[in-house]
Amino acid sequence: MSVTLKDIAKRVGKSVTTVSRALHDFDDVSPDTKAEVRSIAEELGYIPNIHAQRLQSKHTDTIGFIMPTFGPRFSDPFFSEFLAGIGNQAAKMGFDLLVSTCPPGTKELQAYEKNVRSPRVDGFIIVRTRQQDQRIKFLSQMKFPFVSFGRMLEHNDYAYVDEDGEYGMGLITNHLADLGHKRIAYLDAPGHFMFAHYRRQGFLDGLKEKSLEIDQDLIVTGDMTQRAGFQLATEILKQESPPAAIVACNDLMALGAISAAQQLGLTVGIDVAITGFDNIPLAEHCHPPLTTVHQPIYQIGEMVCEMLIKKIRSEPLDQEQIILQPSLVVRQSSIGNKKSL
Amino acid sequence: MSVTLKDIAKRVGKSVTTVSRALHDFDDVSPDTKAEVRSIAEELGYIPNIHAQRLQSKHTDTIGFIMPTFGPRFSDPFFSEFLAGIGNQAAKMGFDLLVSTCPPGTKELQAYEKNVRSPRVDGFIIVRTRQQDQRIKFLSQMKFPFVSFGRMLEHNDYAYVDEDGEYGMGLITNHLADLGHKRIAYLDAPGHFMFAHYRRQGFLDGLKEKSLEIDQDLIVTGDMTQRAGFQLATEILKQESPPAAIVACNDLMALGAISAAQQLGLTVGIDVAITGFDNIPLAEHCHPPLTTVHQPIYQIGEMVCEMLIKKIRSEPLDQEQIILQPSLVVRQSSIGNKKSL
DNA sequence: ATTGAAATCCAAAACGTTTTGGTTTAGAAT
DNA sequence: ATTCTAAACCAAAACGTTTTGGATTTCAAT
């Protein structure tokens, strides 16, 4: 049996009210009493019953994170790093983190609704925003606190952090164009993901800017896994006149593309340039190291979490909407042994 | 304001008791009343207040998972896959999942204690067991439900699932010995991790069985990251007479070792054989594909979670202790272009 | 008419906390 | 002696649910 306020009250010979107020340092409790209450609470190892507190206080000090994942063999470095960011920040600010996984769809919205109405959490963190994002619409409409990593096209009157994917992919495209590449393939992600939209846009604008032709046959879509990158790149490189550069919209597909090229006997960075986007830890120590765009996912997790907790506490945010400028990381996968541009 | 039992009671003209019992399908409520209560509950969109339920029922229907992670740049495929396993299984069985991150140490134990005593969770899942695991000692002593992925050396009277790492690493060692390798390097993980202990033992026993010499200079320890694998393998391969095979105790270090070898101009699978352990998704589509030992992490996550929930519900377990036999996955990183042994 | 049993219902207590709206006491000011 | 103030305290209500321990009604069997 755990120790309750009543137990302490009995020991001190005071009421439960006084004990509660003593522990919360109210000023209508005498210093002596406070000291006594505290020492006995300590002695008995008192820890408040959190459900009684939450029932009374009407808030949960918990934030929710529903990971939009598919299938069992799920392993995306993005999620573990992002999760570490929000987890640590939440702990630092005294919040719990409730995690669940649910593939996008009808059940996903039900999961949000259940957690909102129970109420299990005080706010949500949303990631991988989509065109017409039902989650954002639902939470906005419920006036339930949330912060997202990613924007939507219209309807942008909520708090978010996002990378400037257009700009980042522009950096990649410029880099390749400056190296003299004319025909560049693009490994896209499904169009309903906003990040895919912006990155693709950055790629297309980059080509236009350099007056390069856009060949629709060289733009193919995969599910963001290494396996997909491998398969798509294999197909592309087996064409009679394959492109000399492949831009993947994320690192995982780029890694798959590197393997595909190597399997076909090509030297990546010399015969074919391959680039990614995200700068996951794996990108630095693969062979050849991957040219990519750096995105500080852990820090973004921290930021998003801090913003959410401030919103929950009705504290003002310095900035409601933040767009981060990513930076280009040039490695061997695009420039082979050349030491400079 | 959310809908409570009282609201429903008022509408139906019955007591709160009856409404509660109707919704729980007790048989001292008339069918008519049940139907009416349910329809009105539905109409008002009633969702029980979970904190009131938990305060009353004394259990939380939540399981806890404290990820023992270091540092910010944390990205281990093990965790995302394992998390997906326990998350999905917990959801399937009606449990929430409370996640936090904490590096091993004193604060870690405090985190367990806080969650036990609040009480925030009904049980814990433990991973990456260590020699003298404080977490296990604490939870055993508190008689608090937990299931771990991984054993301890002594004190094994609790529920766990574990791989047979000795056997798995034996498969690897045999495989390499059969290929004719005599000097084999080993990339170890810190000795306090039990999995590292068993895998290392399997390696050493394997060498002994094949009457191969154990060269302590070829056994080096890293922090399980790709970066560590890269650095350790670089050092090893730069020796005047480098070994022709490198066994890494996990896939991530093996991937780093592959990059290191390639950086030095070696062809992995021909000039040097490299093996991993875990069969993470990345292992299949890297170049060359990685010879490794398959561990069904997602399924282990599900199993461990199901066992824990059964323990929480005081249902009997089919087996308290489960050791899984892993299987060898031979790919190009150990056999180059040879099509068979 | 009385008894018994079954069907249906419910007031009150309980879970452990915080908040509300006080009361009591001591001492100072009138 | 009365009034006022400040300090210290606390009973009861509230949060929303489930459980306990009956109460009432109905109807068949006697």
Task: Give the nearest partner residue to A76 out of B80, B88, B286, using CB atoms.
Answer: B80
Across chain A, what does the average pLDDT equal?
Answer: 93
A287, A300, A331, A337: best to mutate for the B interface, most B CBs within 10 A: A287
Per-residue pLDDT band for A315 (boundaries 50, 70, 90) equals very high
| pLDDT value at residue B72 | 65
Is the minimum CB–CB distance between A60 and chain B shorter than 8 Å? yes
Q: How far apart are CA B7 and CA A270, in angstroms?
A: 72
- Contact between chains at B281 and A229 (C-beta distance less than 8 A): no
Cβ <8 Å between A72 and B84: yes
pLDDT-based confidence at A336, cuts 50/70/90?
confident
Q: How many CA atoms lie within 13 A of A85 on its CB side?
A: 22
Q: Is residue A77 scored above 70 in pLDDT?
A: yes
- State the Cα–Cα distance between residues A99 and B223, nearest whole angstrom: 27
The 3 state secondary structure assigned to chain A is: CCCCHHHHHHHHCCCHHHHHHHHCCCCCCCHHHHHHHHHHHHHHCCCCCHHHHHHHHCCCCEEEEEECCCCCCCCCHHHHHHHHHHHHHHHHCCCEEEEEECCCCHHHHHHHHHHHHCCCCCEEEEECCECCCHHHHHHHHHCCCEEEECCCCCCCCCCEEEECHHHHHHHHHHHHHHCCCCCEEEEECCCCEHHHHHHHHHHHHHHHHCCCCCCHHHEEECCCCHHHHHHHHHHHHCCCCCCCEEEECCHHHHHHHHHHHHHCCCCECCCEEEECCECCHHHHCCCCCCEEEECCHHHHHHHHHHHHHHHHCCCCCCCCEEEECCEEECCHHHHCCCCCC
Q: CB-based contact (8 Å) between B242 and chain A? A: no
> What is the reported pLDDT for B73?
63
The predicted structure's pLDDT at residue B341 = 42
Hey, which CATH number is domain B62-163+297-326, 3.40.50.2000, 3.40.50.2300, 3.40.228.10, 2.40.37.10? 3.40.50.2300
Residue B93: the pLDDT is 94
Nearest Cα to A96, choosing from A86, A104, A109, A105? A86
Which pLDDT band holds residue A339 (cuts at 50, 70, 90)? Answer: very low
The answer to whether the CB of A146 falls within 8 A of the CB of A158 is: yes
Query: Residue B18 CA to C8 C1' — how many Å?
Result: 9
Q: What is the pLDDT of residues A229-249, one digit of tens each?
A: 999 999 999 998 899 999 999
Token reading at A115 = 């957690």
CB–CB of A227 and B282 under 8 A? no
Specify the pLDDT at position A73. Answer: 63
For residue B48, which residues of chain A lie inside 8 Å, CB to CB?
Answer: 118
Interchain contact A284–B (C-beta under 8 A)? yes
**DSSP secondary structure of B187-208:** EE--TTBHHHHHHHHHHHHHHH
Q: With a 7 Å cutoff on the CB, does B57 touch strand D?
A: yes
What pLDDT does residue B63 have? 96
What CATH number does domain B165-295+328-335 carry, 3.40.50.2300, 3.40.50.970, 3.40.50.300, 1.20.81.30?
A: 3.40.50.2300
Q: How many CA atoms lie within 13 A of B39 on its CB side?
A: 6
Which fold is adopted by the domain A62-163+297-325? Answer: Rossmann fold (3.40.50)
Q: Write out residues 290-319 of B within 8 Å (CB-CB) of A.
A: 298-299
Could you check: is the Cβ of residue A23 within 7 Å of any atom of nucleic acid strand D?
A: no
Note the CATH number of domain A5-48: 1.10.260.40
Predicted pLDDT at B281: 87
| Distance from CA(A28) to C1'(D1), angstroms, rounded | 30
CA of B261 to C1' of D12 (A): 76
- Extract the residue ranges of chain B whose pLDDT is less than 70: 1, 71-73, 338-341
Those residues whose beta carbons lie under 7 A from strand C are A 2, 4-6, 16-17, 20-21, 23-24, 28, 46, 48-49, 52-53, 55-57; B 13-18, 21, 28-33, 52, 55-56, 58
- Contact with chain B for residue A68, Cβ under 8 A: no
| Contact map slice: B 211-230 vs A, CB within 8 A | 225-227, 229-230
**If you measure CA to CA, which chain B residue comes closest to A227?**
B285
pLDDT for A328 equals 97
| CB of A283 closer than 8 Å to CB of A276 | yes
Bridge partners, residue B184, by sequence? B245
B5-48 with B62-163+297-326: one CATH topology? no
Is the CB of residue B110 less than 8 Å away from at least one CB of chain A? no
Q: Quick one: pLDDT at residue B219? A: 97
A165-294+328-335, what's its fold?
Answer: Rossmann fold (3.40.50)
Mean pLDDT of A116-141: 94
**B64, B299, B70: which is closest to A99 by C-alpha?**
B64
Tens-place pLDDT, residues A271-291: 999 999 999 988 998 889 999
The domain limits of chain A are 5-48, 62-163+297-325, 165-294+328-335
